[in-house]
Copies of this chain bind each other. A is one copy, B any other.
């Protein structure tokens, strides 16, 4: 019986609990997975704690109605770090809104959980970008797992695919379309739009933010390169060490030139290691049309793994917008359940 502590309880945390509740019987039957949620700590909505397990139906209803846990029967004023360390839970779900430059408050939450001997699952990009090697070491020292499937391709299996399904292969290179917003913009430019027009369209659809820098300058993709470099090739990097070019300089003429060469321009995130030469970069590349990544259009994500035993293996997923919120956390939780359950 897993005892879960949810830190940050917005769309992602609530989404996880909704699918856990919906699939409670099936997960017990097929995976032998059982759980209670002992604690919820959210910086805005407040906190609730009950070592016997919170009433999740009532909790979700209260949040729908009041947006706050203030009137929760198990409401508590305890500090988040104190709740995380409480022995009532053994698995912490970290899903706070976190600063990408400092990694906080996520880094502190995750450190506290790992140091308390708890497994951590998280979709939080800040901590992996700022402190991944340190956090993995801390997890190892405490005999627990820190998993973060959702960071690279939202819910589409990427890290879990590399670890389980490609087990036994050496991965020598990964090339991917890991940012849905820029792939959407490039897809519209294929249709004939100019960059500004395509960006505006992406903003209207909610793919791009008002300040699109994080996407269009490649910062989001660079964080994902960082994660893949560390996890797949044990190469810790700062995000600033990723060779990074965005898509802001791409013109309709570039798109046409690629098309004439039977290719499409894609913003490719890449990590590779050939004969000791290490590559970690985000850059627009002309991908030949017969490459599986060339056919990936709109806000869809994909990764091509180059391996010794299987050649190239490509996974194409639905991209952030179409993933059931919480699925990436669920995959990680079930992997932990298989290993330790």
- Determine whether A331 belongs to the interface, using a CB cutoff of 8 Å to chain B: yes
Per-position binary interface string of chain A over residues 280-297, scored 1 when its CB falls under 8 Å from any chain B CB and 0 otherwise? 000000000010100111
Chain B residue at minimal CB-CB distance from A297: B290
9-residue interface stretch from A54-62, A162-170, A216-224, A268-276: A162-170
Per-position binary interface string of chain A over residues 305-341, scored 1 when its CB falls under 8 Å from any chain B CB and 0 otherwise? 0001111111111100011100100110011001100
- Determine whether A31 belongs to the interface, using a CB cutoff of 8 Å to chain B: yes
- Determine whether A8 belongs to the interface, using a CB cutoff of 8 Å to chain B: no
Interface residues on chain A, number (Cβ under 8 Å): 43
| Chain B residues within an 8 Å CB radius of A157 | 161, 164-166, 313
| Chain B residues within an 8 Å CB radius of A339 | 338
- Determine whether A156 belongs to the interface, using a CB cutoff of 8 Å to chain B: yes
**Contact in complex: A318, B327 (CB < 8 Å):** no
Chain B residue at minimal CB-CB distance from A298: B290
**Contact in complex: B334, A167 (CB < 8 Å):** yes
Contact of A324 among B295, B309, B314 (CB under 8 A): B309
Contact of A334 among B168, B316, B335 (CB under 8 A): B168
| Chain B residues within an 8 Å CB radius of A26 | 170
Given that A165-B331, A327-B168, A338-B339 are known contacts, is A314 also in contact with B311, CB under 8 Å in the complex? Answer: no
Q: How far is the CB of A185 from chain B (nearest CB, A)?
A: 18
**Contact in complex: A168, B330 (CB < 8 Å):** yes
Per-position binary interface string of chain A over residues 149-162, scored 1 when its CB falls under 8 Å from any chain B CB and 0 otherwise? 00000011100110
Q: How far, in whole Å, are A155 and B317 apart by their CA atoms in the complex? A: 20
**Contact in complex: A167, B330 (CB < 8 Å):** yes
| Chain B residues within an 8 Å CB radius of A331 | 165-168
**Contact in complex: A313, B309 (CB < 8 Å):** no
**Contact in complex: B323, A309 (CB < 8 Å):** yes
Q: How far is the CB of A313 from chain B (nearest CB, A)?
A: 5
Q: How far, in whole Å, are A339 and B335 apart by their CA atoms in the complex? A: 11
Chain B residue at minimal CB-CB distance from A162: B165
8 Å CB contacts to B: which residues of A126-179? Answer: 155-157, 160-161, 164-170
21 A-B pairs with C-beta separation under 8 A: A19-B168, A23-B168, A31-B167, A156-B310, A157-B161, A157-B164, A160-B165, A165-B165, A168-B331, A169-B327, A292-B296, A292-B316, A295-B295, A309-B323, A309-B324, A309-B330, A312-B318, A313-B316, A313-B317, A314-B314, A338-B338
